[in-house]
Amino acid sequence: MALQIRSLIRANGELELSLHDDPIPEPQAHEVVIRVEASPLNPSDLGLLFGAADMGTAKASGTADRPVVTASVPEGGMRAMAARLDDSMPVGNEGAGLVVEAGSSPAAQALLGKTVAAIGGAMYAQYRAVPVAQTLLLPEGATAVDGASSFVNPLTALGMIETMRREGHTALVHTAAASNLGQMLNRICMKDGIALVNIVRKPEQAELLKGIGAKYVCDSSTPTFLQDLTDALAATGATIAFDATGGGKLGGQILGCMEAAINRNAKEYSRYGSNIHKQVYLYGGLDTKPTEFVRNFGMAWGMGGWLLFPFLVKIGPAAAEVLKQRVASELKTTFASHYSNEISLAEVLDPGTIAVYNQRATGTKYLINPGKGL
Amino acid sequence: MALQIRSLIRANGELELSLHDDPIPEPQAHEVVIRVEASPLNPSDLGLLFGAADMGTAKASGTADRPVVTASVPEGGMRAMAARLDDSMPVGNEGAGLVVEAGSSPAAQALLGKTVAAIGGAMYAQYRAVPVAQTLLLPEGATAVDGASSFVNPLTALGMIETMRREGHTALVHTAAASNLGQMLNRICMKDGIALVNIVRKPEQAELLKGIGAKYVCDSSTPTFLQDLTDALAATGATIAFDATGGGKLGGQILGCMEAAINRNAKEYSRYGSNIHKQVYLYGGLDTKPTEFVRNFGMAWGMGGWLLFPFLVKIGPAAAEVLKQRVASELKTTFASHYSNEISLAEVLDPGTIAVYNQRATGTKYLINPGKGL
């Protein structure tokens, strides 16, 4: 049997997290069975794991081997949960491990005994069957820990740059920029010679980024933030931003500063603003407040959602494969991830541990090792 | 000499509106000189005329023939005025009148003695020279009053439908839908068989639209608004909206109701929401509050500015000419405009009159007749 984390929200507003016993899956012809050895707790996973529940209300029950956590979903959050009510859901976007069984297809057989990364949900489990197309063979010498985060962060970072290019921009802005993803984006941009404006929330995050060589870092906690940001935008010409915070005023402030930077060189007044298109994509929701902006950036602007999988579908499999191969070839350099702790499946369900990793704070990213403690 | 309205905002925060004496312009080869007989006070004109001034502070001075109005710009509004400070600006996007002089080109000569509509700013004037390319020859029997609003509203309404089609949508939503523009959009949609969801703010506006045959009308002042809107969106499949209000929560509510309408038919839960792209274009700013939304509509969404002139540039002159010719051929039916009052240039600068037309209320659209009272 194989353990798997499940997340269930009941119609009465209760979230229940538990470990589920499943048979070890049998592979289809085009699938491999991975013994998962490492799977990161990404912000996107936490969204599915906890839903709209208030984890301040988390209570432990069950046993040490089979812990259960319950928490309450505030009434205002239940509307968004309607579609998943009473549906016990597996969790875990990505991970890596050893291929212990393979389907009959040659592509699957070729991976037997190899360490691969994979994407496809339900990775917070001891064993997982996934289609070969959703795996990435790790290069010689790379461990499951090295490859655990091969998909979400690397392809998101590369996807941002690809989006920037395809939409006609030449430099970009990133928020929550000291995150694992943000540091990765800095490494890509330095390597590729792309100007990147980093926005962080704390002085120590600014120091961290400057320490790895970031040139433009703006700290939103300083009184000169808007001025600093406008200066950086004028220097780089960045007119596209990827915002992980989603809520609050930051997205609108970026558009406003882009317009101010453009207007430094404006020759004549137009009350509709510049005709240079300014774009902010909200790809996360670290700030759960409503999104709010004053429209002080003219009429040539856009804001919208950005999500990795629809982006990969849009660019097509050939273009996506180019991005994946770049990840494999730079796995231990450009695309290296760092984790502050490695925990077992049972520890994922410990309220004290949840209180730490659910802060989603820079430098406290956790890795799950489903084999730990068994 | 010819009178022209000018709007000036001084660095000290004072708005001054006045009448300026200019020589009657001489046409270039490709231009015609129009004796302006009718020019509408569009919301887009009021934005340039008053800038960020608080018209509650308007004071009259000058003489009956040469009135002057002054008003204060609140400190918070001055930043957005920076680029136009101490620049005396002519006003008036569009209008119509008789061609009294023509440049040497055959295209210009062909218009001599004809009544034409024109776009190009500075139309709140007795005479105006404009390039032939910015004119539209009115059909036989159409007066300057018939043609005064040939550009902004008709091309905006047609541009919305063209945008809807080009971006892959099949039905649309419009707010402030009882406006002149909104009624025009209803006539186009009924004629072309396009489903249109009208959003209004008052019961009498809903009645007005139903009276002209609108099928889907949602009144945001009723307690069932969000439910009614979701029903209308589910019935029409509209996934694009054009919002004249800009500020407040309406744009986000439309996206949220679109997602709810799509999810009525959803087969499985995705915490990233539906993968059907939902778009709201903010094309006006009737509500001057900040724009605010809760992100309850998944990740496949966009919000952005929409402006007629960049749109026309984007589709190119041939496609724009098709739209213009449709306006000319349906000028007195589909594209008919209605005005509640006809005022002189001097009356535009009367504080009591300003207090009425600056409400921008449905049914109180004013027309300027620059020849009146002279």
State how far the Cα of B274 lies from the Cα of B288, in Å rounded to an integer.
31
Q: Is A125 helix (H, G, I), strand (E, B) or coil?
A: strand
| C-alpha separations of A349 from A120, A297, A364, B57, B254 in Å | 21, 45, 17, 62, 38
Residue ranges of chain B with per-residue pLDDT less than 70: 269, 362, 374
Determine the distance in angstroms separating the CA of A84 from the nearest CA of chain B, rounded to an integer: 6
Contact B302 A304 (CB under 8 A): yes
| The pLDDT of residue A224 | 98
Contact B271 A48 (CB under 8 A): yes
pLDDT digits (tens, 9 = 90+) for A175-186: 999 988 999 999
For the residues of B66-102, what is the DSSP string, one character each?
SEEEEEEPPHHHHHHHGGGBT--EE--SEEEEEEEEE
Q: Is B219 helix (H, G, I), strand (E, B) or coil?
A: strand
How far is C-alpha A137 from the chain's CA centre? 21
| C-alpha separations of A272 from B45, B47, B72, B241, B307 in Å | 12, 10, 21, 20, 8
State how far the Cα of B278 lies from the Cα of B176, in Å rounded to an integer.
20
Contacting B with CB below 8 Å, chain A residues are 47-48, 51, 79-80, 82-84, 87, 89, 246-247, 252, 263, 266, 268-272, 275, 282-283, 285, 290-296, 298-307, 309-310
State how far the Cα of A316 lies from the Cα of A311, in Å rounded to an integer.
9
Determine the distance in angstroms separating the CA of A142 from the nearest CA of chain B, rounded to an integer: 32
State how far the Cα of B129 lies from the Cα of B131, in Å rounded to an integer.
7
Which of B210-234 are b and which e, b meaning 16 or more Cβ less than 10 Å from the residue's Cβ? eeeebbbbbbbeeeebbebbbbbbb
For the residues of A5-25, what is the DSSP string, one character each?
EEEEE-TTSEEEEEEEEEPPP
What is the DSSP pairing of strand A31-40 with strand A366-368?
antiparallel
Q: Is B213 helix (H, G, I), strand (E, B) or coil?
A: coil
Nearest residue in chain A measured CA to CA from B308: A299
Of A51, A84, A307, the CB nearest to B299: A307
Contacts of A117 (CB under 8 A, 6+ apart): A94, A95, A96, A135, A136, A138, A147, A148, A150, A151
Looking at the DSSP bridge assignments, the partners of residue B94 are B119
In the 8-state DSSP scheme, what is residue A85? B
What stretch of H or E contains A187? helix A180-192
State how far the Cα of A310 lies from the Cα of A244, in Å rounded to an integer.
17
Nearest residue in chain A measured CA to CA from B45: A271
Which of A309-348 are b and which e, b meaning 16 or more Cβ less than 10 Å from the residue's Cβ? eebbeebeeeebeebbebbbebbeebbebebeeebbbbbb
Determine the distance in angstroms separating the CA of A300 from the nearest CA of chain B, rounded to an integer: 6
Where does residue A86 fall: left (phi above 0), alpha (psi -120 to 50 degrees), or beta otherwise?
Answer: left
Contact B218, B229 (CB under 8 A): yes
Contact A305 B299 (CB under 8 A): yes
Contacts of B270 (CB under 8 A, 6+ apart): A83, B298
State how far the Cα of B274 lies from the Cα of B279, in Å rounded to an integer.
13
Which one, of A157, A141, A140, lies nearest residue A149 by Cα?
A: A157
Contact A87 B48 (CB under 8 A): no
Identify the residue among A152, A226, A269 best suited for mutation to test binding to B, counting B beta carbons within 10 A and taking the highest.
A269
| The pLDDT of residue A43 | 84
| The pLDDT of residue B232 | 98
Determine the distance in angstroms separating the CA of A290 from the nearest CA of chain B, rounded to an integer: 5
Nearest residue in chain A measured CA to CA from B299: A305
| The pLDDT of residue B180 | 87
| The pLDDT of residue A94 | 97
Contact A127, A35 (CB under 8 A): yes
Contact B301 A305 (CB under 8 A): yes
| The pLDDT of residue A1 | 82
Nearest residue in chain B measured CA to CA from A274: B310
Contact A269 B298 (CB under 8 A): no
B315: phi then psi, degrees, rounded to nearest 5: -80, -20
**CB A87: neighbour CB atoms within 10 A?**
14
Continuous H helices in A275-357: 308-315, 317-329, 345-348, 351-357
B292 to chain A: which residues are within 8 Å by CB?
290-292
Continuous H helices in A237-303: 250-263
Contact A244, A284 (CB under 8 A): yes
| The pLDDT of residue B81 | 87
Which one, of A224, A309, A341, A259, lies nearest residue B305 by Cα?
A: A259
- Block mean pLDDT (10 aa), chain A, length 374: 94 96 94 97 91 95 94 90 90 97 97 95 96 92 96 96 98 95 96 98 97 98 98 98 97 97 80 91 93 95 96 92 94 92 96 92 87 82
B301 to chain A: which residues are within 8 Å by CB?
304-305
How far is C-alpha A61 from the chain's CA centre? 30
B258 to chain A: which residues are within 8 Å by CB?
none
Nearest residue in chain A measured CA to CA from B276: A310
Which residue type sits at B30?
H
Of A51, A300, A304, the CB nearest to B301: A304
| The pLDDT of residue B363 | 72
Contact A292 B291 (CB under 8 A): yes
Nearest residue in chain A measured CA to CA from B275: A310
Exposed/middle/buried for B74, CB within 10 Å: 0-12, 13-18, 19+?
exposed
Q: Is B9 helix (H, G, I), strand (E, B) or coil?
A: strand
ipTM higher than 0.90?
no
Contact A307 B295 (CB under 8 A): no
Contact B48 A272 (CB under 8 A): no
Contact A272 B307 (CB under 8 A): yes
pLDDT digits (tens, 9 = 90+) for B2-53: 999 999 999 999 999 999 998 999 999 999 999 999 999 998 899 899 999 9
Contacts of A267 (CB under 8 A, 6+ apart): none
| The pLDDT of residue B120 | 86
Radius of gyration over every alpha carbon of chain B, rounded to an integer in angstroms:
22
Of A79, A89, A300, the CB nearest to B305: A300
Contact A246 B87 (CB under 8 A): no
Which of A226-259 are b and which e, b meaning 16 or more Cβ less than 10 Å from the residue's Cβ? bebbbbbbbebebbbbbbbbbbbbbbbbbbbbbb
A256 to chain B: which residues are within 8 Å by CB?
none
A300 to chain B: which residues are within 8 Å by CB?
305, 307, 310
Continuous H helices in chain B: 43-50, 75-81, 106-109, 144-147, 152-166, 180-192, 203-211, 225-236, 250-263, 308-315, 317-329, 345-348, 351-357
Contact B173, B195 (CB under 8 A): no
Continuous H helices in B116-196: 144-147, 152-166, 180-192
Contact B271 A84 (CB under 8 A): yes
| The pLDDT of residue B8 | 97
Contacting A with CB below 8 Å, chain B residues are 47-48, 51, 79-80, 83-84, 87, 89, 246-247, 252, 263, 266, 268-272, 275, 282-283, 285, 290-296, 298-307, 309-310
Determine the distance in angstroms separating the CA of A306 from the nearest CA of chain B, rounded to an integer: 6
Residue in the structure block whose two tokens are 């395809």? A166
State how far the Cα of B346 lies from the Cα of B19, in Å rounded to an integer.
8
pLDDT digits (tens, 9 = 90+) for A238-294: 999 999 999 999 999 999 999 999 988 777 767 788 999 999 999 998 898 999 999
State how far the Cα of A24 lies from the Cα of B88, in Å rounded to an integer.
78
What is the DSSP pairing of strand B94-102 with strand B287-293?
unpaired
Determine the distance in angstroms separating the CA of A97 from the nearest CA of chain B, rounded to an integer: 26
| The pLDDT of residue A177 | 96
Tokens of B2: 């010819």
Nearest residue in chain B measured CA to CA from A313: B275
Identify the residue among A88, A250, A272 best suited for mutation to test binding to B, counting B beta carbons within 10 A and taking the highest.
A272
Contact B293 A290 (CB under 8 A): yes
What stretch of H or E contains B140? none
B303 to chain A: which residues are within 8 Å by CB?
302-304
State how far the Cα of B124 lies from the Cα of B120, in Å rounded to an integer.
11
What is the DSSP pairing of strand A216-219 with strand A195-200?
parallel
Contact A295 B285 (CB under 8 A): yes
Contact B304 A303 (CB under 8 A): yes
Determine the distance in angstroms separating the CA of A205 from the nearest CA of chain B, rounded to an integer: 27
Handedness of CA B167, B172, B177, B180 (dihedral sign): positive
